[in-house]
Amino acid sequence: MLENVQRSWFDHYMVPCFSPAKFIPVRAKGSKVWDQEGKEYIDFAGGIAVNSLGHAHPELKDELISQIEKLWHIGNGYTNESVLKLAKKLVENTFADKAFFCNSGAEANEAALKLARKYAADKYGKNKSEIISFKDSFHGRTLFTVTVGGQPKYSQDYAPLPQEITHLPYNNLSAIREHISENTCAVIVEPIIGEGGVIPADPAFLQELRTLCDRFQALLIFDEIQTGVGRTGYLYAYQEYGVEPDILTSAKGLGGGFPIGAMLTKQHIAAVFQPGTHGTTFGGNPLAAAVADRVVSIVNQAELLTGVLQRHDYFMDKLSKLNQRYQIFSCLRGKGLLLGAELDKAWQGKAKQLTNLAAEEGLIALIAGPDVLRFAPALNIDFSDIDEGLVRLESAIMRFVS
C-alpha cells in the first residue's frame, strides 16, 4: 500500500536548518501552485527569484526532455554542446569574454572570490588580498561567501573565518573612499541588496566603485544572482546602471528552476584559472546548461524585458493603492520584479507573520529580513495573477491589522 507523505516527516528526518511552511506543494503551472490538499496559491516568490518563466514552462520542459534523451552527464574531462551554446550566448550578450559554470549562487561567488584573490596574488603579490563587501549583503552559505556576506548572524557560529574581509555601509561613498587601498583585491556588491532588504544601489555608488577599483587595481564583482536574467527588466542589472563589472555572478533565475550557477569575466582575468586551479564535478552539466540556454534565449527578448517593466509599474501601482488603504508599509521599492515593501514602525519584525497569513489566504510571498515583504514572481506572470495575488494579500493584511 502506498504511504501518504506527511509534512511531519520533515521534522523527523531532515536536518532542521529550514522551517518550511506547513503545507507541501505538489504541482505548479505558470504562477499557480497547488498543495497536497488541492489548495491553490498564487506564487509571488518564484522559488526565491528562481522560476523566472513560471512553473512548467512548455519550452523549458521540451528542452529538458529533449536533452534527457541525449546526454545527462559526462564530466569535465569532456565538454558538451549545451554548455558551449550557453557560454557563447552569455558572452555575446554581456561585457564578458569567458564563462565558468557551477551549480549554485554560492559556488559562483566562491569561484569569483577565489579568482580575484589569485589574480591579485599572481599579478601584484600576496599582500593584495583584502575583499571589501557591504553590510546587509548576502553572497551564499559556503564559509568564504558567508563571511564575505554582510550579515554576521550567518557567519558567527563558524569561526575561525577566512581573513582580510571588510564590511562597509552600502550606498555610502565616503566610507569606501576612505577605506579602499592598494591592498584591496576586490569589491563585491549586489546591484540591489536582495535578501538583506531589497535596497537598490544608487547609480553614483556603483559608478564610484568602478572608479575606485580602477584607481586601486581592484576587481569589481557584481553579484547578480538575484538581480540577473531579466529580473530588473534588463538581462543583467549592470546594463541599466551603465557600470561594467570585471566579474559577474549569476544563478537562481538562470536555470528557471534547474540548478545552475555561472561566473562571467574578462579574458585577462579568466586566464589565471588554468586546468587544476578550480573545478566542479557537475558544473556545466548538459541538462542544466540546455535549460539555462533556453531560459536566456526566452528572457533576452525585448518583449519579455519590456513586459517586466510593465509588470513592475502595474504591481507597484496596485500595491501603493493597497497601502493607501492600510498604511502598513513605510516604503515600497525595487526594480523590475524584485520588489520590497518595508513594514512601518508599528509592524516591524512581523514580516514573517504576514507571509504566513498570506499563505493561509492562498498567496506565496517572501520576506527580506524581519521588516520587509519581498516579491519576486515569474517575469511572465499574468496580470490577472498579479490582481488575484494582491486581493489575497489584502485579505491577509486585513487579518494582520485587526
Q: Give the footprint of ligand PLP on this chain (CB under 6 A).
A: 104-106, 109, 138-140, 190, 194-195, 223, 225-226, 251
Closest to 89 (Cα-Cα) out of 289, 279, 361, 268: 289
The closest residue (CB) to ligand PLP is: 105
Residue reference for cell 576612505: 178
Cell numbers placing 332? 515600497
Tell me: is residue 110 an annotated ligand-binding position.
no
Nearer residue to ligand PLP within complex by CB, 101 or 347:
101
d(CA 138, CA 7): 29
Tell me: is residue 7 an annotated ligand-binding position.
no
Tell me: is residue 224 an annotated ligand-binding position.
yes
d(CA 347, CA 338): 22
Helices then strands, counting H and E runs in the chain, come out as 14, 17
Tell me: is residue 46 an annotated ligand-binding position.
no
Nearer residue to ligand PLP within complex by CB, 51 or 104:
104
In the complex, least distance from residue 103 CB atom to ligand PLP, rounded to whole angstroms: 8
Given a contact cutoff of 8 angstroms between Cβ atoms, the answer to whether 364 and 55 are in contact is: no
Nearer residue to ligand PLP within complex by CB, 191 or 362:
191
Tell me: is residue 111 an annotated ligand-binding position.
no
Tell me: is residue 116 an annotated ligand-binding position.
no
In the complex, least distance from residue 101 CB atom to ligand PLP, rounded to whole angstroms: 13
In residues, how long is the chain? 402
- List CB contacts of 283: < 8 A, sequence separation 6 or more: 76, 100, 101, 102, 103, 107, 261
Tell me: is residue 122 an annotated ligand-binding position.
no
- CA dihedral over 170, 183, 138, 83, signed as positive or negative: positive
Nearer residue to ligand PLP within complex by CB, 299 or 396:
299
- Tally of CB atoms within 10 A around 309: 15
In the complex, least distance from residue 323 CB atom to ligand PLP, rounded to whole angstroms: 25
Nearer residue to ligand PLP within complex by CB, 195 or 385:
195
Cell numbers placing 331? 516604503
d(CA 191, CA 15): 33
Nearer residue to ligand PLP within complex by CB, 154 or 314:
154
d(CA 191, CA 189): 6
In the complex, least distance from residue 251 CB atom to ligand PLP, rounded to whole angstroms: 5
In the complex, least distance from residue 146 CB atom to ligand PLP, rounded to whole angstroms: 10
* Binding residue positions: 105-106, 138, 141, 223-226, 280-281
* Binding residue positions for pyridoxal 5'-phosphate: 105-106, 138, 223-226, 281
* Binding residue positions for N(2)-acetyl-L-ornithine: 141, 280
